[in-house]
Amino acid sequence: MVCTVGGLTSEHLIAFVEWLAEQQYSGSYAFLIARQALAFGRWCNDRRLSLCALKDSDIARYQRLRSRHRSRCFETRRRELRSLQLLINFLRGRGVCRASQALATAADNVVEEFVLCLRRERGLAEITVENYARWVHKFLVWRFGRGDICLFDVRVTDAATFIQSEAKRMRPAALKNIANALRSFLRYSQSRGEVSAGLVASVPTVATWASTPPIPRAISAEHAQRAIDSCDRQSAVGLRDRAVLLLLARLGLRACEIVRLTLDDIDWDRAQLRVRGKGGRESLLPLAADVGEGIVAYLQRGRPASPDRHLFLRSVAPIRGLMEGSDAIGTIVRRAILRAKVDAPHRGSHQFRHALAVRMLQLGASLPEIGRVLRHRSVQSTSIYAKVDLNMLRTLVMVWPGGVR
């Protein structure tokens, strides 16, 4: 016989607490979450709310009613909301609660088909797909509202008007992303015969060019090493951060490539690392000795026990891989720079990639060799590093008329 505790069966409640332990929540925090789940269960039981019909709006109603009886600060309500959302998601995962029924609009359906095409045929990075989907959805809602969508009604001036409306609060670089998204969507719609052939050309070009490409802003080799050495090798977080910084500095990986790494990407026998870069392209890179040692130290003494196969995991519950599209790697870099107290050109992770290219150039590597290490598709992407080779540039300097060379 299964007893009922406040609207939740003891079986569900016990399973929920066990799941919290598996996600490595602390005992005190798991106790707090379980207590809030129990109070919510009693409230549901008093109102004869069935768990299978539980909705997100019920949580909001529960919190509003509790706020009437006692004054509670915003942080308390926020923690309670997070706890109850954990409970609802857990019950949905076990099939006890129905999945959230979001009302899909016509714009949602159009964007969903567009996204499927981008992933299936274009091979774009996931963050690019999400960015395109967001702006196309906003454009369709701006043009058609929440009603039916007829792309034949899109006028030649619509794209320009929409971009102009966004230009009031955005910089040119961001506006260029909007233009690219709309151009891609209209080209996709044209291939389906849903818009006229000339509509793609109506998307304006956003001027973001400069007279010369910017000089790469690279952290110096000394400062990069100080940032790496600032990591605490006695702590799990320090071991993880040191391994991440070594991958940035020695192999020039992008932040998204580090987030995607899994345990299966490391070939210890051949000392190779499989990297999934832009557009889903895979590359095999040699695993330098100090990078391998840093990863081994993290795996042996720092990585939490977890079924998640991602190489780098969060340090706090829920224990899972770093979220792609987040600024997790950037946060690691910023903290290391602050600890090391170095004068870095900026706080982003890409400066380590630039530093690797500059160092290779100083050691005599050619631009094509640097491009292969950094996995550039275009020679133009690598050519920006020619401007940091001062010794080579001096040979190109012409004698000033009447002056001394």
Q: Which residues are catalytic?
A: 254, 278, 350, 353, 376, 385
SS3 label, residue 267: strand
Q: Using an 8 Å Cβ cutoff, are 320 and 310 in contact?
A: yes
Q: Report the 10 Å Cβ neighbour count for 257.
A: 22
Q: How far apart are CA 117 and CA 384, in angstroms?
A: 33
| Of 318, 182, 301, 295, residue with least CA distance to 243 | 295
- In 10 A of CB 82, how many CB atoms? 11
Quote the tokens at residue 135.
């702006």
**Dihedral angle of Cα 250, 253, 254, 256, to the nearest 10 degrees:** -130
CA–CA distance, 76 with 317 (Å, rounded to integer):
19
| Residue from 250, 253, 252, 232 nearest 289 by CA | 250
User: SS3 of 274, please?
Assistant: strand
Provide the greatest CA pair distance for the chain: 102
Residue 318: is the preceding peptide bond cis (ω within 30°)?
yes
- Nearest one of 142, 146, 174 to 159, comparing CA atoms: 142
What is the C-alpha to C-alpha distance for residues 365 and 359, in angstroms, rounded to an integer? 9
Distance CA(393)–CA(396), nearest Å, equals: 5
Give the closest residue to 129 by CA, choosing from 76, 188, 87, 89. 188
Instruction: Answer for the pair 275, 262: CB distance below 8 angstroms, yes or no.
Output: no
Q: How far apart are CA 240 and CA 248, in angstroms?
A: 13
Residue 4, strand partner residues: 9
10 Å CB burial of residue 399 (0-12, 13-18, 19+) is: exposed
Nearest 5°: phi and psi at 310? -60, 145
Phi, psi torsion values for 47, nearest 5 degrees: -100, 10
